[in-house]
Amino acid sequence: MNYIFYFLIVGSIVIGAITGRLSDVVNSILTGAETSVKVAFSLIGIMAFWLGIMRIAEKSGIVEWISKVIKPITKWLFPEISEDSEALGDVAMSFSANALGLTNAATPIGIRAMEEFQKVNKDKTSASNAMCMFLAMNTAGFQLIPATVIAVLIGIGYKNPTEIIAPTLLVTTIAFLFAIFMAKMFAKLWKKQSDLSGGNE
């Protein structure tokens, strides 16, 4: 990736020099650098706020309550995981962070959940159904409020950043449900293939 960005920057400078528009290239670099700083600061504020909310939810027992509320769903999604597993609490926190558009905050929580899934994984050399399901859910990235994207839009001076909420909710809901469906379908297909290969032996 570093080589790609290096090639783009150097290529832009060379082409700008050849075409006589080097000043435009330099101005674009400076303007882009200024905009990136503004976006970064806008992200710091909203990330700090929502991470604080998540920490309060964890300490006050709200996460545990959410885990109990969605227990029927998590039991269906992760049938091989026991109901008292700490991983289900991490799944609830990760889902909540993703729903609020805090994908950066969801990453360490997701890693912790994967570590818990690995502890009960019978085959340590391959991903379990629970791990595949959780990965599919996180990759789809259901978002109720795309806070990070809204913060970026605010940082670049977009007039109505909240107008992306409805289309984002629609698209991520479809992707989320489809990811769950595909993970379930492949888990059944893999089980059938394993049963058939075991029977042939």
pLDDT tens, position by position, 112-156: 888 888 888 888 888 888 899 998 988 887 888 777 777 777 777
Task: Sort 154 into a burial class: Cβ within 10 Å, 0-12 / 13-18 / 19+.
Answer: middle
Q: Give me the number of domains the chain comprises.
A: 1
In a domain, 20, yes or no: no
In a domain, 32, yes or no: yes
This prediction has a pTM of 0.66
* Contact (Cβ atoms closer than 8 angstroms) between residue 113 and residue 87: yes
In one-letter notation, the amino acid at residue 185 is M
The CA-CA-CA angle for residues 24, 25, 28, to 5°, reads 85
Looking at beta carbons, which pairs linking 177-181 to residues 24 or more positions away fall under 8 Å? 178/140, 179/136, 179/137, 179/139, 179/140, 180/77, 180/133, 180/136, 180/137, 180/140
Backbone φ/ψ region at 20: left (φ over 0), alpha (ψ -120 to 50), beta: left
Reported confidence tier of residue 192, pLDDT bands at 50, 70, 90: low
In a domain, 141, yes or no: yes
In a domain, 170, yes or no: yes
Find the domain containing 105 and state its range: 28-193
pLDDT of residue 97: 76
In a domain, 13, yes or no: no
pLDDT of residue 194: 56
pLDDT of residue 179: 92
In a domain, 1, yes or no: no
Q: Would the pLDDT of 199 be above 50?
A: no
Residue 190 tokens read as 């893999």
Residue 121 tokens read as 């994984």
Q: Would the pLDDT of 62 be above 80?
A: no
Q: Would the pLDDT of 90 be above 50?
A: yes
Q: How much is the mean pLDDT over the chain?
A: 80
The residue to which tokens 């950066």 are assigned:
104
pLDDT of residue 34: 77
Q: Would the pLDDT of 197 be above 70?
A: no
Q: Would the pLDDT of 82 be above 90?
A: no
**Average of pLDDT values for 21-47?**
77
In a domain, 76, yes or no: yes
- Residues contacting residue 146 through CB under 8 Å, at least 6 positions apart: 101, 164, 165, 168
In a domain, 138, yes or no: yes
Residue 122 tokens read as 């019978």
